[in-house]
Structure 1
Amino acid sequence: MSIQLLLAQVLLLVLGLLGVAAARPDLIMDHGVKALLALGATFIFARMQPRTFMKHGTTFWLVTLVLLLLVLFIGVGTAESEGTRRWLKIGSQKFQPSELAKLGLILQLASFFSRRGVQNKLLSATAMIVVTTALIIVEPDLGTSVLTFSLGIVLMFAAGVRISNIAGFMLALGLLSLPLIGRYLETHPYILERFTGYVTHGDVPKPGMDQIDLVHRDLMYGGWWGHGPDGLRFQYFAAHTDMVVAAVGFSTGLLGVIMMLFAYWLIVATSLQVAQLAARIRPMSPEIHGASILATGCMYMVVGQAFVNLLVAARIFPVTGVPLPLVSYGFSSMLTMSVALGIIHSCMRTVREQLPDEAANPDLMAVPAD
């Protein structure tokens, strides 16, 4: 296993424990147990082979589509989720199928492109991306659907689809979807309110940035070193989930936030190295090609979501409702992201095993020059 990738995961899980302890101390034991289970899932999937993931990619993707359909009929929401249906409930536990759908799309497209190549396959890949995204957007879950769609674009690029083809696909899809956008915003007016900076509570409009102001205050109160998990200065909705970065900053200070960013950078560096090393193998087998796509897709699923979450906290993006990967409270996201890291471990090991002898042991942070 990659020591750097494992370090990044443990660091994020520990920071998440401190953040949840500061925001919701009553949930710390539950969060700790789930963090250990998620870490165990990483070890299990890291021992598997990329060809195993791709072999079952289509089946897993189809199962996630069925789960997304079930959400529309028997799904549950919360009082704060504007009447949406995003979770399936089994007993007392809830899970979010859209998290699994992102992973399913990665496995399916990696399997598809590695087996069939990228020539003249854009239409089929487009259909897979659109179907997955459409089932998420009608829940509605705009934040996750945008991440899922962009994930599909990244996977096509990682597979080797030309930029001009991807740009043409996006332009055509954008033009075709224009008639639907107005109707969608009319049906779900709170989405437009978030973009304009206001959220409606009953009949009383309340500035949507009030929560972000509290987030910024907690981050400032954290100072350089933080105050430890002794409770946030301010209380607000989603302090332990979507806005957990404020709790992390309050309890660990600027140092903790920097360590969190460093952990996400380690994930990016390790995953991109898989693609770099895979390019050194000639001829490139379907498994190595698929491993490169898998690692890049899993990296983007984790870090892309973290990027969006942090931009929301920085008041650059409107509120989207996506959790901070491996840090926020919530088992669906944590487990899925941990499985994604396990897949990256697997891809790194497989690629290294098939490297030429002279490049079999490169430094993790830098691939030797040719």
Structure 2
Amino acid sequence: MSIQLLLAQILLMALGLIAVGTARPDLIVDHGLKLLVGLGLTLFIARLRPTAFLKWATFAWLGTLILLVLVLIIGVGTAESGGTKRWLDFGGPFRFQPSELAKLGLVLQLSSFFSRRGVERKLISATAMILVTTALIILEPDMGTSVLTFGLGIVLMFAAGVRISNIAWFGLGLGLLAIPGLNIYLQRHPYILERWNGHQSRGDTVSVGLDHIGLAHRDLTNGGLWGLGPDGPRYIYFAAHTDMIIATVGFSTGLLGVVMVFFAYWMIVNTALQVSLLAARIRPMTPEIHAASTMATGAMFMIVGQAMVNLAVAAGIFPVTGVPLPLVSYGFSSILTMSLALGIIHSAMREVRSQLPAENDPAALMAVASD
């Protein structure tokens, strides 16, 4: 296992537990138990070899597509989600958001596909996988997650070795094809434009601190360097324990806590890059090593890409999208999926290390780890 990656996970979970306890003390026990389940799941998945993921990749991906279809039929929503249906609720604790699992299913499927078929051919099939997954999420509708899913597909193509020119043509062609349907989609789901227009005209509201983002910014600023702790006097604003939790982290733990959040995500990026660097040293590169490297990159982008979107919303750069902060925000679907993703990175790291030539171990490992 990667100690660096495990430390990043524990750090994010600890800060999330403090923040959820600050914003919603009644949820701290529930959140803590879910974090323990997530950590246990990471440790279990980390012990598996990447070949196990490749064997079941297609079934996992198709299973997530079935769940996404079920969301369109029997899905439920909340008042906060604007009436959209994004969850499957089977009663009690069995309530989750299939779009989170769909991203992970896409990572496994594309990694398996490119390792078996190569990257010079069959790109139409890979493109179809990305579009089908993204389209089902768009229909919920969930614009934020669908954009992340599409971006994830692009990153996976790049990580697998698809030429930049092919990716560029793919993106351009899809953009042109999507233009006619975009107007119809926005008319059917006017809340998207309403959020964007509200975001664009938000300047005067923020100056007097009347909107939720403005209040979150005040909480973040009031935390100072070291924070005011869970019991400090704070503002009440929307989604303080989910979408806007970084403000709660800043309030309770100060600038130090916010910096630690960024540091933890950097450690996740660094670990995934180590997997790719070490995999490049293995000659010949087997399909299993190629898939492990691609999976690690995809799992990393799942986590860090979503984190960047969440932080951009909290900073007021993007309109509200409903995307949680991975491993920090309250919500079992996100905790479960991100813990699985971390386990995959652990597994990929262990597989790549085991396949390194003897002359590259351990001296080369130490050199890469210190970069």
Q: TM-score range by the shorter chain?
A: over 0.9
User: Pairwise mapping of residues 213-232 of structure 1 onto structure 2 (< 5 A)?
Assistant: 213-230=214-231
Report if the CA contact (8 A) 1:277-1:367 is conserved: no
Q: Distance in 2 between matches of 1:368 and 1:11?
A: 20
> Structure 1 pair 14/168, CA: closer, same or farther in 2 (3 Å)?
same
Residue 58 of structure 1 corresponds to 58
Q: Distance in 2 between matches of 1:330 and 1:13?
A: 12
Q: Distance in 1 between matches of 2:54 and 2:66?
A: 19
Residue 75 of structure 1 corresponds to 75
Give the aligned residue type for 2:4.
Answer: Q
Task: Name the SS for the 2:89 alignment partner.
Answer: strand
User: Pairwise mapping of residues 96-175 of structure 1 onto structure 2 (< 5 A)?
Assistant: 96-175=97-176
Give the TM-score normalised by structure 2. Answer: 0.95
1:210 Cα deviation after fit = 1.3
Give the aligned residue type for 2:88.
Answer: L
User: Pairwise mapping of residues 35-54 of structure 1 onto structure 2 (< 5 A)?
Assistant: 35-54=35-54
Report if the CA contact (8 A) 2:61-2:102 is conserved: yes
Report if the CA contact (8 A) 1:98-1:136 is conserved: yes
Task: Name the SS for the 1:56 alignment partner.
Answer: helix
Report if the CA contact (8 A) 2:242-2:329 is conserved: yes
Report if the CA contact (8 A) 1:232-1:250 is conserved: no
Could you list the per-position Cα deviations for residues 165-223 of structure 1 after superposition, in whole angstroms to 9, with x for gaps in the alignment? Answer: 00000111111111110011111111112222259xxxxxx989811101110000100
Task: Name the SS for the 2:368 alignment partner.
Answer: coil
Could you list the per-position Cα deviations for residues 125-174 of structure 1 after superposition, in whole angstroms to 9, with x for gaps in the alignment? Answer: 00000000000011000000000000000000000000000000011111
Give the aligned residue type for 1:92.
Answer: G
Residue 244 of structure 2 corresponds to 243
Q: Which runs of 4+ in 1 moved over 4 A?
A: 206-209
Gaps of 5+ in 1: 200-205
1:92 Cα deviation after fit = 1.9
> Structure 1 pair 22/356, CA: closer, same or farther in 2 (3 Å)?
same
Give the aligned residue type for 1:337.
Answer: M
Q: Distance in 1 between matches of 2:292 and 2:139?
A: 32
1:368 Cα deviation after fit = 8.7
Report if the CA contact (8 A) 2:12-2:261 is conserved: yes
Query: Bigger CA drift: 231-240 or 150-159?
Result: 231-240
Q: CA RMSD in A?
A: 1.8
Task: Name the SS for the 1:224 alignment partner.
Answer: coil
> Structure 1 pair 270/365, CA: closer, same or farther in 2 (3 Å)?
farther
> Structure 1 pair 140/4, CA: closer, same or farther in 2 (3 Å)?
same
Residue 203 of structure 1 corresponds to none
1:108 Cα deviation after fit = 0.2
Report the identity percentage: 69
Residue 366 of structure 1 corresponds to 368
Query: Bigger CA drift: 188-197 or 277-286?
Result: 188-197
1:67 Cα deviation after fit = 0.2
Q: Distance in 1 between matches of 2:126 and 2:180?
A: 23
Report if the CA contact (8 A) 1:44-1:342 is conserved: yes
1:230 Cα deviation after fit = 1.4
Residue 195 of structure 2 corresponds to 194
Q: Distance in 1 between matches of 2:241 and 2:105?
A: 27
Report if the CA contact (8 A) 1:50-1:343 is conserved: yes
Q: Distance in 1 between matches of 2:367 and 2:141?
A: 40
Report if the CA contact (8 A) 1:49-1:347 is conserved: yes
> Structure 1 pair 346/61, CA: closer, same or farther in 2 (3 Å)?
same
Gaps of 5+ in 2: none
Give the aligned residue type for 1:63.
Answer: G
Query: Bigger CA drift: 313-322 or 264-273?
Result: 313-322
Residue 178 of structure 1 corresponds to 179
Instruction: Report whether the alignment pairs 1:5 with 2:8.
Output: no
Q: How many residues align?
A: 364
> Structure 1 pair 331/364, CA: closer, same or farther in 2 (3 Å)?
farther
